[in-house]
Structure 1
Amino acid sequence: MADAFDLIVLGSGPGGYVAAIRAAQLGLKTAIVERELLGGICLNWGCIPTKALLRSAEIYHYMSHAKDYGLVADGISADIAAVVKRSRGVAKQLNQGVTHLMKKNKVTVFMGTGKLAGKGKLSVTGADGKTTELEAKNIIVATGARARDLPNLPADGEKVWTYRHAMTPKEMPTKLLVIGSGAIGIEFASFYNDMGAEVTVVEMLDRIVPVEDADISAHLEKALKKQGMTILTGAKIDTISADASGVKATITTKDGKASDGQYSHVIVAIGIVPNTADIGLKELGVAVDDRGFLKTDATCKTNVEGLYAIGDITAPPWLAHKASHEGVIAVEAIAGLHPHAMDPLNIPGCTYCHPQIASVGLTEAKARDAGYEVKVGNFPFIGNGKAIALGEPEGFVKTVFDAKTGELLGAHMIGAEVTEMIQGYTIGKTLETTEAELMETVFPHPTISETMHESVLSAYGRQLHM
């Protein structure tokens, strides 16, 4: 006889484990199924351990520039093995934290490979080959996604890496090729550049971090080139091959010129593939879009009764915090609480390169394309006392408003600590604030966050410090 639950969650990433916790809070008998490590990719191989790596690179960068702060640091060096060990330790700590949260909330954990076995049914095959049958009125699928390979050169963990290999390198790259300039590609490019590798980034579109505002892209490209990176936009990989000595690539740049390059390693960061195969979705007739991602409604429900989907197997943006919020929405819908639908324009995005990037809402171009008449504010970090005192004068804040109503349509930031600051604008958008409330908000001095206030003032010709 199958074990019965009110809810089964397939996948324990930031969407799955948060959904399980919220379900337990609402009194639902809940089970969670995980084939590898509790916490999923984010905690174990994504968001968290990469930030630990980037923190080490940031400290190394500051040590290398100690004289800029009146300090002396001689003979410094980086130990890539020790840096990776620290990162893995952080991931392990958080994995243990999720394990504790499951016990605390009385969520039953099944370790093994889960597969839908019909409506309301799920089988779990453990490492020992034994299968456990589960059933529940509702199931949430939160199986996430994996890195997309180059069609002619799959990652091997030796010379050809995905993000997962790049987090635990067997050796330090000397000359690194990064294909793709989204958040993952740029973060690893930034990390390895700070750690001393010679880095080249290839992007097929006309600018790096192409989902960001064009002004952000331009500023980041300038900053990364200043740090020594080679940035090739509007470029394509004609041929690429790898052997024991490294990677050889022929790259055609936007001027039509092709050239051969030899690299020690390549990181492929060209997108993700949803983990939807072989888990019983096709047999149930679950609807997917043209790219293979599951279609869901405002409460994360699929076209199959009792089956919900959240996170990276559904529509973008593919972000951990979006998955977590979807988990809460799905569970509250199951419990009959009628949750509010999530507005994708209120989901912030952060890229932890150096300098950092953060944004929420519409870019200036997308706001204009949507028919808005806009007012745009822009304030540089060089006009901010705290940024100068920190030795971080590069960066700016850009705000986009509806000229007719004063609604905050979007905010875009680049510079030190902007990933911590963006939530101020995110709260403002969620509260449907206008320029009036933001202007009347008192920002503490001295903080970099004052640039946020000044950018709003700038949109209306009222900036004070520039």
Structure 2
Amino acid sequence: MKKFDYIIIGTGQAGTPLAFSLAETGTVAIIEKDFLGGTCVNNGCIPTKAYVASARKMWDAKNGVEFGVEITGKIKANLSEINARKQKLVLESRENIESAIEKNKKITLYKGEAHFSSNYEIKVGAEKLTAKKIFINVGARAVVPETYKEVPHYTNENILELTDLPKHLIIMGGSYIGLEFGQMFRRFGSEVTIIERSDRLIGREDENVSDSVAEILKAAGINIVFNAKEIHVKQEKKTILATMDNRKVSGSHLLLAIGRTPNSDTLHLENTDIKLDEKNYIKVDSYCQTNVEGIFALGDCNGEGAFTHTSYNDFQIVESFLLKKKEKKISDRIMTYGLFIDPPLGRIGMTKKEALEKGYEVLVAHRPMTKVGRAKEKGETLGFMEALIDAKTKLFLGACVLGVGGDEIIGSITNLMYAKQPYTVYRDAVHIHPTVSELIPTMLEDLKPIKK
């Protein structure tokens, strides 16, 4: 049994910075069953956004004529080269982590799957480790229902390893991951069909966001099938056939983007007192502590956020807690995220539905991108901006920017919400012209109440 001051399971966006922080005060064992860097580095943010960038270049090349730019000759996506560019970026990040760990004499890396033998004892292959403080950062993976396991399929973890373009990509699931991959492969030249069980895309969003996103994707030539309740999928020769009620879709490749599930089931937590919720997420308090003293869960596996930025914030929360400062906690976090289609969606705080359900008197500011000068100059007028204001306090309840630069613009409202400043601060500020964000103050001059 090897004793350490700290054990970290997983090298994702919470585990890796935590390892270097803890190494300043003690010995650290960090365990990784796969590639270093977790989802973000290997099959999440870095690789997918590299592909999104290539897809954007395809769009630019094909739409140059509208801007007076004539491009002659055949425009083709070389998926092999796109993959190679992606892989270079991934390897650079992965190798940077590996090099930093190797140089730190206080950190010992163990490759293999971690299994709890008891609350404070962990096996990694033949090795047995123990520590009084253990940090679980094992992430999550794509849901693969039993009905799909016998059918050739891809998830976000392996579809970016393709080097030949799918002729017709069928995507199960009309939420964030499925939509990003759908638009990406459509721009590369694949036919794409998205199959969604409900009557609209990304159901957690307000209906006007869902409807606008659907319009954007349909305008790009993506087929969307709604209300697909009874879905049966099989392979016939080299064709994937999906049947829904009396509707049929046949394609060459199948991507499952149905949802995510935590990797807590790999840890043998039945040998511990650590509690899980009904979805197998590890239960934590506002400081990422489990019910077992000294054991913490960070990142996707704790169910308190499913993003790189929330995982990193979990690291900050735990670090602050261990330093006995307790300056940060999960309950202070305002949910913000992006949908990285083009144009992107930036979201912060509550939706209209959530705000009304919580009893707020809500004022709404709305402006379509067709009324934003810079968007028109860029030739990108799809989408809109919208902000929700508490009529009593004048504070932002939430906002979304679905349009050019939306993933970056939302940060200005994020800062104001954390500062707990009224919307009038933004409204009365002087912004650079010409920009997209300069129209947010104009938008905030026209607030309208919505009925509960």
Same fold (TM over 0.5): yes
Q: The residue matched to 1:160 in structure 2 has which SS? A: coil
TM-score after normalising by structure 2: 0.94
Match of 2:160 in 1: 167
Matches of 1:34 and 1:455 in 2, distance apart? Answer: 48
In structure 1, give the amino acid aligned to 2:101: M
Match of 2:140 in 1: 145
Find out whether 1:267 has 2:255 as its counterpart.
Answer: yes
Find out whether 1:231 has 2:224 as its counterpart.
Answer: yes
Match of 1:80 in 2: 79
Matches of 1:202 and 1:89 in 2, distance apart? Answer: 32
Where do 5+ consecutive residues of structure 1 fail to align? 126-130, 253-257, 462-466
> Do the aligned residues in 2 keep the contact of 1:345 with 1:361 (CA within 8 Å)?
no
In the comparison of the two structures, how many residue pairs are matched? 447
TM-score after normalising by structure 1: 0.91
User: What's the offset of the Cα at 1:344?
Assistant: 7.1
Match of 1:312 in 2: 300
User: What's the offset of the Cα at 1:270?
Assistant: 0.6
Partner residue of 1:132 out of 116, 119, 127:
127
Q: The residue matched to 1:273 in structure 2 has which SS? A: strand
Matches of 2:368 and 2:294 in 1, distance apart? Answer: 50
In structure 2, give the amino acid aligned to 1:4: F
> Do the aligned residues in 1 keep the contact of 2:320 with 2:328 (CA within 8 Å)?
no
Find out whether 1:348 has 2:336 as its counterpart.
Answer: yes
User: What's the offset of the Cα at 1:433?
Assistant: 1.9
In structure 2, give the amino acid aligned to 1:118: S
Matches of 2:117 and 2:294 in 1, distance apart? Answer: 13
Match of 1:10 in 2: 9
Report matched runs for 1:402-417 at 5 Å: 402-417=390-405
Match of 2:109 in 1: 109
Find out whether 1:65 has 2:63 as its counterpart.
Answer: yes
Find out whether 1:362 has 2:350 as its counterpart.
Answer: yes
User: What's the offset of the Cα at 1:237?
Assistant: 4.2
Where do 5+ consecutive residues of structure 2 fail to align? none
User: What's the offset of the Cα at 1:371?
Assistant: 0.5
Q: The residue matched to 2:97 in structure 1 has which SS? A: helix
User: What's the offset of the Cα at 1:243?
Assistant: 4.3
Match of 1:191 in 2: 184
Mean alpha-carbon deviation: is it higher for 432-441 or for 292-301?
432-441
Mean alpha-carbon deviation: is it higher for 394-403 or for 239-248?
239-248
> Do the aligned residues in 2 keep the contact of 1:401 with 1:435 (CA within 8 Å)?
yes
Percent sequence identity over aligned pairs? 28
Partner residue of 2:233 out of 240, 255, 276:
240
Q: The residue matched to 1:458 in structure 2 has which SS? A: coil
User: What's the offset of the Cα at 1:135?
Assistant: 2.2
> Do the aligned residues in 2 keep the contact of 1:189 with 1:201 (CA within 8 Å)?
yes
CA 1:334–1:142: 2 relative to 1, 3 Å: same
> Do the aligned residues in 1 keep the contact of 2:173 with 2:197 (CA within 8 Å)?
yes
> Do the aligned residues in 2 keep the contact of 1:150 with 1:268 (CA within 8 Å)?
no
Q: The residue matched to 1:176 in structure 2 has which SS? A: strand
Matches of 1:417 and 1:214 in 2, distance apart? Answer: 21
User: What's the offset of the Cα at 1:103?
Assistant: 4.8
In structure 1, give the amino acid aligned to 2:2: A
Find out whether 1:203 has 2:202 as its counterpart.
Answer: no
1:227-284, CA deviations, whole angstroms, 9 ceiling, x for partnerless residues?
A: 11112222234311124412111123xxxxx212211111111111211124231210
Matches of 1:134 and 1:251 in 2, distance apart? Answer: 50
> Do the aligned residues in 2 keep the contact of 1:399 with 1:459 (CA within 8 Å)?
no
Matches of 2:101 and 2:234 in 1, distance apart? Answer: 45
> Do the aligned residues in 2 keep the contact of 1:216 with 1:413 (CA within 8 Å)?
no
Find out whether 1:94 has 2:87 as its counterpart.
Answer: no
User: What's the offset of the Cα at 1:195?
Assistant: 0.9
Matches of 2:44 and 2:150 in 1, distance apart? Answer: 17
CA RMSD of aligned residues (A): 1.9
Match of 1:213 in 2: 206
> Do the aligned residues in 2 keep the contact of 1:213 with 1:412 (CA within 8 Å)?
no
Matches of 2:7 and 2:204 in 1, distance apart? Answer: 34
Matches of 1:342 and 1:297 in 2, distance apart? Answer: 8
Partner residue of 1:419 out of 386, 404, 407:
407
Matches of 2:411 and 2:177 in 1, distance apart? Answer: 21
User: What's the offset of the Cα at 1:23?
Assistant: 2.8
1:301-323, CA deviations, whole angstroms, 9 ceiling, x for partnerless residues?
A: 11111111011111243111111
Matches of 1:166 and 1:393 in 2, distance apart? Answer: 31
1:122-175, CA deviations, whole angstroms, 9 ceiling, x for partnerless residues?
A: 2322xxxxx33322221110101111113211276xx41111222112531111
Find out whether 1:298 has 2:286 as its counterpart.
Answer: yes
User: What's the offset of the Cα at 1:28?
Assistant: 4.1
Matches of 1:278 and 1:460 in 2, distance apart? Answer: 50
Find out whether 1:46 has 2:41 as its counterpart.
Answer: no
Q: The residue matched to 1:276 in structure 2 has which SS? A: helix
